[in-house]
Structure 1
């Protein structure tokens, strides 16, 4: 009996191409027929949404699009030739499956992830006369991952692989082939070369989402633990700097800004683990970064929201926001220009270098800060507990008549609490912590939507004055007025939902979990201070 054979093996290290195990000679004399080189540049969003779902989008040297199924190594579609490398989902028009890809990509930009270079040599071997007359095809491939690192490039060779395609092969010959390969220490290829390439290039050189250093030892000194977490946040800042400066995707600035905010929150809560003059110095620098990144992020969010806001207008008012969009683009560019000037300044470089040097310096054996040598488990829990009690007090004071600033202040407290819980999550039981974080995020999302509406209302009022001064068409001004009414309705709805969302977060069961996880043991002779958390 015979069967079609299509298998791949990984060549052992040190085996030269064309030096075959003696046991394979039964396949016949090998005759080289071609030698080719292929190259694809892989594109994805900054958070690799396509790769996460098993797809790879490539552009070859001829500017032709291709869609590859990573784990099967199958080319599903080959699309049109592109005049320029695609940047957005809309640029994929003509590629089969574009609608599905667009849903995954959404508003994210397509960014270069890495390149794949393949050198392929092929041979054919005539099957001996006693076997079937079809030829066997041998493909020897050397795959290389090319990562762009600024102006340089890093090449990572993957294990060479040999593929055999035999239209007809007897079971006896298959057994002989397997035995010969095992004796020569060749191994079957368990992964496609595409999957291997992804595995060795997990961190995109262009940037990556925020990653957190995990602290699991509750007895670790507080200064050492805080430095470790801060070092991870600085790494995140640096990975997202280039994307922020290039303005390739708004999420680079978002992740950069989140790292800055987490750093500020941690210095505010546990900065006493370091000398006060050191903490104060760096806190001032990070406050400056927060001030310069905030406007750029706010205008980014507003610009991204404009299509959705326009779609909420009715009738003839839709499509009347072009004058508004023009002004928003101007403000966005100006805010990014100020941010980029700050990030490119020599002062910023000196600050980052000094910050990195401080974080990399070993903690002193005899620190001047009393908090430094205390165990992180004790200190982290104490800070989280205090923030939680503060959040409950502030949340219970919110009424229908509370000013917008009160909800904004509550949002900032919720954000600080969430940051501390996330930064030190390795110290606590993961299941109850995940439940508490989920409800905290729901509260924070509601407060965030309320604050976004507040910011957009302020922007629209300011822009309306500018439009009047520029003699904008009446239809555009009416559309702005209608949008203001919609956003005020949104805020009214969010206020109505607040009580329910906050009540779920502050429920008796969740208060018990917070006490169990974070409440510090009572000090003899002292009360807990009437916090109203019971």
Structure 2
């Protein structure tokens, strides 16, 4: 197995002298040449690669750019050569192969942004007399560059990179590595240089995901934990504002809206921990912001699914959808402009500053713990979900489906907030079943939104005399596809609801209540336990 070891030299005066005086008495050294090096590291805004345990960097090659996906522990996972003159920004733009498949799985549709750049010169040496599998040494004099200060590099440093190929003789490799390890003026660095670069440039990996929790201390004061969570969610929204305005990718708006929805959900559930109407006074403004962000997100989700829908149209009609798609992009551009104006408006800044000021002024009014306060709300939300599920199971109308979706969303957010508080042993089965149900309900809601978008855009095409009869025929095929998907998704939701309403899931919730709210557990069991043979 090939390995690489990096040594940071504390004496930067003459690394060539270090090599020749230290090693040539023991092993034959040959200078192979000197080259310019540049390693550009990339990741998504929310550090998806790093949080998954990977790094991605690009370097120049004779064919273009060579991209390397590497584990943070150092092992190389996949490489690809891109012959273009511009870095690919999305996983779909990379050459087909292992690297593209892995990137698509990790980063999905997020844009890759520059993270760090290692730039300098490298002397390449070969060690030993073996020509088939030579051990290579790169003596590198370089500096780290941040994207925000590319013209002002950090302090230069010198490192030795020892590369031992898999085919090198084991005993010789061990002798070489032992000699390098004995260097007095050298510090061993992680095999993945990105880790050293982040430390060198004092870049910290931020958790900017909207999936925020109350933490894992069940004795923490409830009001303080809720305030802290509100502040973290607002921070996520603020961090995503520039990406929304620049239109870098659709996930900036997605994360912004998730943080917004979680904020509204927390207000509904925990408002009684605060003085009367202190949180409720902001509800009209949060609703306004939800509406302002909703239409653009609806179009983004539809455009992501459009290619899949287009493939259901006969090939003779597929090209007729181009005018429809062009008009949809025009509507998206207009929705984006409206949202950007809203984010720059006085109303938005008054909302955010007022919310921030109100949270900063909060003082705890109760000594109740987050575990004690949350358990009663979990019980209420769970009861409500089961009730809405029974109503939908008895009469599956659009109204009962919408009510089930809202109840499920509220409980899911509350479960995700509190999962570390109570531990996964009780909540994990319920969280898993609820996520599956919510995904199904969300997919069904998306299908309804897509139908409305098609109808509204087709009417606009008719009024403006864009497209022709064959365009509307092609849209008819998509509408038929959506109708079939709708029916299949409703059947799937019935199955997912039955999984959620099983005795096993219910029993785990009973155990949680027995541990954290023993006084309510008997009444809960009597009122909500499914009867024999019932899914409800």
TM-score scaled by length of structure 2: 0.80
Alignment of 1:437-452 (within 5 A): 437-452=431-446
* Pair 1:382 & 2:382 matched: no
Give the CA deviation at 1:407. Answer: 0.9
Which residue number in structure 1 is paired with residue 420 of structure 2?
Answer: 426
SS in 1 for 2:311: helix
Residues 119 and 499 of structure 1: is their aligned pair in 2 closer, same or farther, counting only changes over 3 Å?
same
**Change beyond 3 A, Cα 1:424–1:166:** closer
TM alignment of 1:93-242, pairs within 5 A: 100=101, 103-104=104-105, 108-122=109-123, 139-142=138-141, 144-149=143-148, 160-163=158-161, 178=178, 181-182=181-182, 184=184, 186-194=186-194, 196-197=196-197, 209-242=209-242
TM superposition shift of 1:108: 1.7
The DSSP-based 3-state class of the residue aligned with 2:392 is coil
Q: Residue 356 of structure 2 aligns to a residue in which SS?
A: helix
Q: Is the 8 A contact 2:127 2:135 kept in 1?
A: yes
Shift of 1:469: 2.1
- When residues 502 and 144 of structure 1 are mapped into structure 2, their CA distance, relative to the original with a 3 A threshold, is farther
1:458 aligns with one of 452, 457, 465: 452
Mapping of residues 27-106 of structure 1, within 5 Å: 37-46=36-45, 52=52, 54=54, 56-58=56-58, 64-70=64-70, 71-72=74-75, 76-82=79-85, 84-89=86-91, 91-92=93-94, 100=101, 103-104=104-105
Deviation at 1:124, TM superposition (A): 6.8
Residue 482 of structure 2, aligned match among 479, 487, 511: 487
> How far, CA to CA, are the matches of 1:247 and 1:214 in structure 2?
31
**Which is worse superposed, 35-44 or 290-299?**
35-44
Matched residue, 1:243: 243
Aligned to 1:396: 390
What is the deviation of 1:432? 3.5
2:528 aligned counterpart, secondary structure: coil
Please say if residues 23 and 177 of structure 1, whose CA atoms lie closer than 8 Å, have aligned partners that are also in contact. no
Aligned to 1:252: 252
Deviation at 1:450, TM superposition (A): 1.3
CA contact (8 A) 2:4 2:164 kept: no
CA RMSD of superposed structures (Å): 4.3
Number of residue-to-residue matches in the alignment? 516
Conserved 8 A contact 2:143-2:153: yes
Are the counterparts in 2 of residues 73 and 194 from structure 1 also a CA contact under 8 Å?
A: no
Kept in 1, the 8 Å contact 2:110–2:249? The answer is: yes
**For the Cα contact (< 8 Å) 2:9–2:186, is it kept in 1?**
yes
CA distance in 2, matches of 1:304, 1:423: 29
Return the alpha-carbon distance in structure 1 between the equivalents of residues 174 and 59 of structure 2.
Answer: 37
Deviation at 1:273, TM superposition (A): 1.9
Question: For residues 203-244 of structure 1, what are the alpha-carbon distances to aligned partners after superposition, in whole Å with 9 as ceiling and x for unaligned?
Answer: 779x95434244222222211010122222222222222211
Matched, 1:517 2:520: no
Matches within 5 A, 1:347-366: 347-361=347-361, 363-364=362-363
Q: How far is the alpha carbon of 1:305 from its aligned partner?
A: 1.4
* TM-superposition CA deviations, 1:378-409 (whole Å, max 9, x none): 11111111111101101111157543132122
* 1:424 alignment partner, SS class: helix
Q: Distance in 2 between matches of 1:178 and 1:332?
A: 61
Q: Secondary structure at the match of 1:114?
A: strand
TM-score, structure 1 normalization: 0.81
Change (3 A) 1:96 1:517: closer
- Shifted more, 47-56 versus 223-232: the winner is 47-56
Q: Cα distance, 1:31 vs. partner? A: 11
Deviation of 1:247 (Å): 1.3
Instruction: Flag the 1:470–1:152 CA change in 2: closer, same or farther, 3 A.
Output: same
Change (3 A) 1:339 1:427: same
Q: CA deviation at 1:483?
A: 2.2
Q: CA deviation at 1:173?
A: 11
Distance 1:493 1:61, change over 3 A: closer
* Structure-2 change in CA distance of 1:473 and 1:273 (3 Å): same
1:467 corresponds, among 458, 461, 465, to 461
Give the Cα separation in 2 of the matches to 1:376 and 1:409.
27
In the alignment, is the contact (CA less than 8 A) between 2:33 and 2:123 conserved in 1?
yes
Q: Deviations over 1:446-466 (max 9, x none)?
A: 111111111112222222322
User: Distance between the aligned counterparts of 1:415 and 1:246, measured in 2?
Assistant: 30
- Could you list the runs of 5+ residues in structure 1 that have no partner in the other structure? none
Q: Is residue 236–residue 259 contact of structure 1 (8 Å, CA) maintained in 2?
A: yes
Of 488, 501, 507, the match for 1:506: 501
The aligned counterpart of 1:11 is 8
Which stretch of the first structure deviates more once superposed, 229-238 or 101-110? 101-110
Cα offset, 1:172, TM superposition: 9.7
Alignment partner of 1:328 is 2:323: no
**Structure 1: how far apart are the matches of 2:152 and 2:412?**
38
Stretch moving more, 288-297 or 38-47: 38-47
